Structure 1
């Protein structure tokens, strides 16, 4: 117990010494600004933020986003086909963003082996839940 306390105290002393050395050898001069200067800086920052927000809105209006584009895919599941293959095809068709997260969803809801053979029309605006309701038992 004494050894631990001594080690802790030595560490505190060492850290304090290092901080003191850094503090007193630092050549930076700290300046204070007046309240008027501070308000001017804040006003400039707010003005820049508003300009950036306007530019962002203009860009969003002129460029179509990926989410606006809805992909439609006819999915055919063969008897005995692995859920991994189905997930990979859905990802390649841009119906889902990530095959692994879809597989995790199937695993979590114990639907990995519940895929029904057949042909289904799925779209990219469907949730994982909607897709799985359509393709499982």
Structure 2
């Protein structure tokens, strides 16, 4: 390539960049129409949403909380049945695919089969039971030890 060809090539590149730049900066600016409140409300209502003013929302929230408070006041506490230490309720634990030891421990704590979900989860981890948990239904009682429960749910 000689000097004349190099200059012609550079001039062509410069002209091309200028043309592309003009199109980029001028054609790319399409104005988005501004939405006002009425257009926004209509758009939301078309999509299935309910539009409320702040005052109406606060009023509905206050009404709901008042109704909830009334319902709680009207609901009288039921007397607890007498507890006998000899009778322990059995709980049938259903372990499904995807459950981890944390989920199982929380369920058992909620059903009062174990006292502390965190302690039971740590027990399963430390003794290697957390990796051996089997799917299925298991009958458990509150009188069982952590070891008994772990052996039942791991079928070992």
TM-score (norm 1): 0.49
Q: Which has the higher helix share?
A: 1
1 or 2 for the larger relative contact order (CA 8 Å, sep ≥6)? 1
Give the number of the structure whose alpha-carbon radius of gyration is greater.
2
